[in-house]
Amino acid sequence: MALVVILGLIFTLAATFVSMALLVRTAFGHVPHAITFLPVPLVLHNLWMSARFVDACLRQFVLTSVTPASAMRLLAFVFLAAALFAVGCLYGCVSVVHQLLGGKTARRVRRGAKHVALLYAALLVVGWSAYQFQASTVLFTPLRLVLAVVSFPLALATWIWLLVGARSLPDAPWRAAVVRLARSYVVLFLVMTVFAAVRDRLWAASPALPLVVDVFLVLTYTLVTVLWVESAERSAHRASPHQAMP
């Protein structure tokens, strides 16, 4: 179990660094403008999963050597970081859909998602503060539980929205590329949603199994995104200036 935790943290952090490099590449490299925001939810998702492995490492190696009160405060901070990363990832998914599809509806949904994300993040910080200073879990625990239940289904819904909306994009090559990305994401996040629903059962059967699946999904999400961005870059370079991708 200890080896799985250590290797899992190493792989998830490595995937996080790769996704950050991809973010810099799309932000400052020669890529179609409509994909500059694509790596953002990937970075936040990988940070979210890395926080899970930090939690596992703390439980495995650190918490037994500190007082119970200190251990719970340390875990609460990790829980807060993971929850904030999850909220940011969901908003990032909506922002990617808005960037790829455009339109008034996507812009309104993104604006509403921004307000909800900011409010939820503020409530998480307030709940965490209440736990840190008053040992109250009245707000923090329910917010975390709700987020754990809805995060992957909401992310899946945004990619289904992208898949449906991409079919109306006017440029045929760009439409095919976005549909291909959306299909890959729908399948991947469907797997994540199902896995999240059965995670506790897998943990009861073998504590290491959910961690292995986490690593596999992180690497798959990163690989799918990197390969698609490279494909979009090649297509953009082949296109003439008058036929550039959006």
Residue 231 belongs to domain spanning: 2-238
Record the tokens describing residue 193, joined without a space. 């949603």
Domain membership flag for residue 204: yes
Predicted TM-score of the model (pTM) = 0.92
Number of domains in the chain: 1
Query: What pLDDT is recorded for position 242?
Result: 40
Domain membership flag for residue 108: yes
CB pairs under 8 A, 24+ apart, for 194-203?
196/148, 196/151, 196/152
Record the tokens describing residue 119, joined without a space. 């409010």
Query: What pLDDT is recorded for position 239?
Result: 62
Query: What pLDDT is recorded for position 68?
Result: 81
Please list, in sequence order, all residues whose beta carbon lies within 8 angstroms of the beta carbon of residue 41, skipping any fewer than 6 positions away: 88, 89, 90, 92, 93, 95, 96, 155
Domain membership flag for residue 244: no
Task: Report the chain (246 residues): mean pLDDT per 10 consecutive residues.
Answer: 91 96 85 84 97 92 82 91 97 95 92 97 96 89 95 97 93 91 97 95 91 96 95 74 43
Domain membership flag for residue 119: yes
Taking the C-alpha atoms of residue 62 and residue 65, their distance in angstroms, rounded to an integer, is 6
Please list, in sequence order, all residues whose beta carbon lies within 8 angstroms of the beta carbon of residue 161, skipping any fewer than 6 positions away: 97
37 phi and psi angles, rounded to 5 deg: -95, -5
Domain membership flag for residue 243: no
Domain membership flag for residue 158: yes
Domain membership flag for residue 245: no
Taking the C-alpha atoms of residue 152 and residue 196, their distance in angstroms, rounded to an integer, is 8
Query: What pLDDT is recorded for position 38?
Result: 94
Please tell me what DSSP assigns to residue 60: I
Domain membership flag for residue 77: yes
Q: What is the CATH number of the domain that holds 33?
A: 1.20.1070
